[in-house]
């Protein structure tokens, strides 16, 4: 097991361990993972992005080299931690890509930036998640351990080998529980709508996110540019549909950059 980096909590090496800075990027794409996921899911994505787009996968506490750090189970606390880390990198046009849990984090980051009259993203890429206004997730993070583990088995993204390796399972359970708490976070009182484009991705085979809920992302923004695309593959279509997703991300980023002031 790796020990946590000795740098401060806001140091880029903690949050962006795989980022390869470009000299003068046209834009930056910040990527947030699904529950239990890490920057590894975005390995090699830079090869499929438009020239000049800098890939910035975000590593949250409680995984890989940050495994010894306490995972964060409060979305407001996580956003408070992320904003100072992101601030120096928002000097260029940027977008958020959030998958499942990552979609909820991306939405809240965009809301907070807008509320502060800060820089706004070119748009949001949101996959395998409905908006919090129609949250169909169960609050499984509150369950006793044996029931929580039983519910985890329902999600295709957790390898069966993990359940058979009790020592490893004990290491990752706190992170998984915290991640599901983040994903389940409900809306506050009538949050204001965003004013940016949203690109939504889902799968008709996803047992956890009804296709009808994907269309409800249109209610989260006043912008007319909202696209919903469907892919085969179930809840974790991000893995088999990587190339198709990147093609659509590239198309949208190019369009958004072309219309940016």
Q: Confirm whether 2 is domain-assigned.
A: no
Higher pLDDT, 136 or 42: 42
Q: Please give the residue range of the domain that contains residue 75.
A: 12-259
Residue 195 lies in a domain: yes
Q: What is the C-alpha to C-alpha distance for residues 9 and 1, in angstroms, rounded to an integer?
A: 19
* Structural domain includes residue 125: yes
CB 106 within 8 A of CB 82: no
Q: Over the stretch 58-84, which tens digit does the pLDDT of each residue have?
A: 999 999 999 899 999 999 999 999 999
124 domain-assigned: yes
Report the CATH number at residue 20. 3.40.50.1820
Residues in the chain, overall count: 261
What is the phi-psi region of residue 63: left when phi exceeds 0, alpha when psi lies from -120 to 50, beta otherwise? beta
112 within a domain of the structure (yes/no): yes
SS3 sequence of 81-128 = HHHHHHHHHCCCCEEEEEECHHHHHHHHHHHHHHHCCCCCCCCEEEEC
For residue 101, the Cα-to-chain-centroid distance in whole angstroms is 6
Domain assignment present for residue 184? The answer is: yes
- The number of folded domains in the chain is 1
Asked, for residue 6, whether it belongs to a domain, the answer is no
Q: In what order do the strands lie in the sheet with 198-202?
A: 53-57, 27-32, 94-99, 124-127, 198-202, 226-230
Across residues 191-217, what is the average pLDDT?
A: 95
Say what the pLDDT of residue 157 is. Answer: 62
Q: Is the pLDDT of residue 3 over 60?
A: no
Q: Dump pLDDT digits (tens) for 113-171.
A: 999 999 999 999 999 999 998 876 777 777 777 787 877 777 766 666 776 777 777 88
Identify the band that residue 185 occupies on the pLDDT scale cut at 50, 70 and 90: confident
**Residues with catalytic function:** 100
Cα-atom radius of gyration of the chain, to the nearest Å? Answer: 17
pTM score, two decimals?
A: 0.91
């Amino acid at each position: 097991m790796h020990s946590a980096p000795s740098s401060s909590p806001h140091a880029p090496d903690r949050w962006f361990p795989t980022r390869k800075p470009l000299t003068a990027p046209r834009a930056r794409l910040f990527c947030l993972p699904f529950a239990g996921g890490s920057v590894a899911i975005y390995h090699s994505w830079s090869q499929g992005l438009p020239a000049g787009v800098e890939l910035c996968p975000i590593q949250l506490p409680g995984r890989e080299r940050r495994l010894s750090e306490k995972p964060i189970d409060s979305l407001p606390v996580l956003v408070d931690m992320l904003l100072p880390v992101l601030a120096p990198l928002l000097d260029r046009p940027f977008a958020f890509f959030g998958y499942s849990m990552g979609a909820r984090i991306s939405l809240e980051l965009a809301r907070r930036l807008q509320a502060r009259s800060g820089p706004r993203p070119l748009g949001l890429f949101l996959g395998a998640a409905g908006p919090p206004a129609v949250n169909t997730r169960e609050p499984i993070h509150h369950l006793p351990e044996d029931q929580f583990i039983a519910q985890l088995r329902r999600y295709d993204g957790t390898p069966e080998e993990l359940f058979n390796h009790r020592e490893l399972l004990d290491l990752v359970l706190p992170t998984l529980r915290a991640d599901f708490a983040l994903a389940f976070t409900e809306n506050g009182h009538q949050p204001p709508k965003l004013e940016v484009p949203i690109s939504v991705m889902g799968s008709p085979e996803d047992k956890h996110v009804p296709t009808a809920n994907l269309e409800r992302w249109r209610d989260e923004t006043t912008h007319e540019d909202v696209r919903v695309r469907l892919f085969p593959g179930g809840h974790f279509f991000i893995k088999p549909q990587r190339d198709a997703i990147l093609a659509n991300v590239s198309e949208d980023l190019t369009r958004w950059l072309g219309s940016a002031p």
